[in-house]
């Protein structure tokens, strides 16, 4: 990965080549987003805008052939976050802005990608029929209006996660090339602002009572999930624990993903109130 960053920093042509190449490869668009983020963070918005336009060219082809808006959402999302990070020098603010990528997917997918939205509808219908055969019919009928928004929110949060990954990889490349160790310290201290946590709790309360809000919940919770991962990394680094702890942490995702997802979000919410890393540092 480091070779991609070094090659991209040799000039705008090299950066544009990397951005276009990885945007054209399925499931590698987040690397293209990272190249765009790196150029914006290192060379500014003007230079980054030209690389962004180049990275979006494969997205036009993907959309024309398959109605796929993934490249647009991920690359543009990472670019916006990188611009916020460059202007504010605040990783928490940049991560908070990632909800725009999720909300854009929720709003645009049904209109711009009816083929993919139809697949979600079909999946929701099949899941609803499966529920009717497994539980009381009245309960299944009450749950069915929630299924499609949940699926749409899950897809939107996944694209949001790819956009965040592009930003973090671009920031890690920048630190590795020009400020070794800077990204690690920045990521270990990642804490979302209080207003975001209050906003997330408000959306969660509305989403628990209204199906129209359900699709927003995974998008709102994704930055808290990233903050939970940051907290684990930070605590392990502060305790000078073995790297095997991190290995065990990520292996646990393979077996307990839903539980780990909920646990990390809960820990992130508690950290906003109690600031575990500061308390550990004071104790040390």
Over residues 67-114, the pLDDT tens digits come to 999 999 999 999 999 999 999 999 999 999 999 999 999 999 999 999
The reported pLDDT for the residue numbered 136 is 66
Would you place residue 15 in the very low, low, confident or very high pLDDT band (cuts 50, 70, 90)? very high
**CA–CA distance from 23 to each of 8, 36, 39, 116 (Å)?**
14, 11, 16, 19
pLDDT at 284 over 60: no
Q: pLDDT of 168-177, one tens digit each? A: 999 999 999 9
Surface-to-core class of residue 189, CB atoms within 10 Å of its CB (0-12 exposed, 13-18 middle, 19+ buried): middle
CB 183 within 8 A of CB 15: no
Q: pLDDT of 34-78, one tens digit each? A: 999 999 999 999 999 999 999 999 999 999 999 999 999 999 999
Would you place residue 243 in the very low, low, confident or very high pLDDT band (cuts 50, 70, 90)? confident
The reported pLDDT for the residue numbered 72 is 95
DSSP H/E element including 271:
helix 243-274
Helix segments in 25-69, DSSP class H: 29-43, 45-66
Dist CA 92 CA 234 (whole Å): 15
**CA–CA distance from 226 to each of 41, 229, 232, 235 (Å)?**
20, 5, 10, 14
pLDDT at 283 over 70: no
Most confidently modeled of 59-68, 179-188, 271-280? 59-68
Note the Cα 166 to chain centre separation in Å: 8
The reported pLDDT for the residue numbered 200 is 86
CB 179 within 8 A of CB 47: no
Average pLDDT, the chain: 89
Domain boundaries, the chain: 1-179, 190-284
User: 111, 206, 184, 110: which is closest to 152 by C-alpha?
Assistant: 110
Would you place residue 282 in the very low, low, confident or very high pLDDT band (cuts 50, 70, 90)? low
Would you place residue 33 in the very low, low, confident or very high pLDDT band (cuts 50, 70, 90)? very high
Dist CA 172 CA 80 (whole Å): 17
The reported pLDDT for the residue numbered 138 is 63
DSSP H/E element including 117:
helix 114-134
Q: pLDDT of 120-173, one tens digit each? A: 989 888 887 777 777 766 666 777 778 889 999 999 999 999 999 999 999 999
Average pLDDT over residues 5-29: 94
Dihedral over Cα of 246, 78, 116, 61: its sign: negative
Average pLDDT over residues 177-183: 87
Residue bearing the bigger pLDDT, 257 or 163: 163
Average pLDDT over residues 17-33: 94
Would you place residue 24 in the very low, low, confident or very high pLDDT band (cuts 50, 70, 90)? very high
**CA–CA distance from 267 to each of 27, 66, 95, 249, 277 (Å)?**
30, 39, 17, 14, 12
- 135: phi then psi, degrees, rounded to nearest 5: -140, 180
Tokens 């928004």: give the residue: 149
Q: Classify residue 25 by its DSSP letter.
A: S
CB 280 within 8 A of CB 238: yes
As a whole-number percent, the residues of the chain with pLDDT over 70 amount to: 96
CB 98 within 8 A of CB 223: yes
């Amino acid at each position: 990965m480091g070779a991609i960053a070094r090659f991209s920093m040799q000039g705008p042509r090299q950066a544009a080549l990397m951005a276009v190449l990885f945007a054209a490869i399925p499931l590698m668009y987040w690397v293209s987003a990272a190249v765009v983020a790196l150029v914006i963070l290192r060379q500014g918005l003007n230079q980054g805008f030209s690389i962004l336009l180049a990275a979006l060219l494969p997205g036009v082809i993907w959309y024309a052939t398959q109605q796929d808006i993934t490249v647009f959402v991920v690359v543009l999302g990472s670019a916006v976050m990188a611009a916020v990070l460059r202007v504010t020098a605040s990783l928490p603010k940049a991560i908070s802005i990632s909800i725009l990528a999720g909300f854009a997917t929720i709003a645009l997918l049904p209109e711009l990608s009816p083929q993919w939205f139809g697949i979600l509808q079909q999946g929701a219908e099949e899941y609803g029929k499966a529920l009717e055969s497994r539980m009381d019919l009245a309960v299944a009928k009450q749950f069915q209006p929630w299924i499609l928004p949940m699926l749409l929110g899950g897809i939107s949060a996944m694209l949001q996660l790819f956009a965040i990954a592009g930003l973090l990889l671009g920031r890690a490349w920048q630190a590795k090339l020009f400020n070794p160790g800077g990204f690690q310290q920045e990521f270990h201290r990642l804490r979302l602002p209080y207003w975001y946590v209050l906003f997330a709790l408000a959306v969660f309360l509305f989403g628990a009572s209204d199906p129209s809000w359900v699709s927003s919940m995974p998008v709102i919770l994704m930055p808290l999930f990233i903050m939970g991962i940051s907290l684990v990394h930070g605590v392990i680094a502060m305790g000078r624990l073995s790297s095997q702890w991190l290995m065990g942490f990520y292996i646990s995702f393979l077996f307990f993903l839903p539980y780990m997802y909920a646990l990390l979000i809960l820990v992130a919410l508690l950290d906003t109130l109690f600031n575990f890393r500061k308390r550990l540092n004071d104790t040390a």
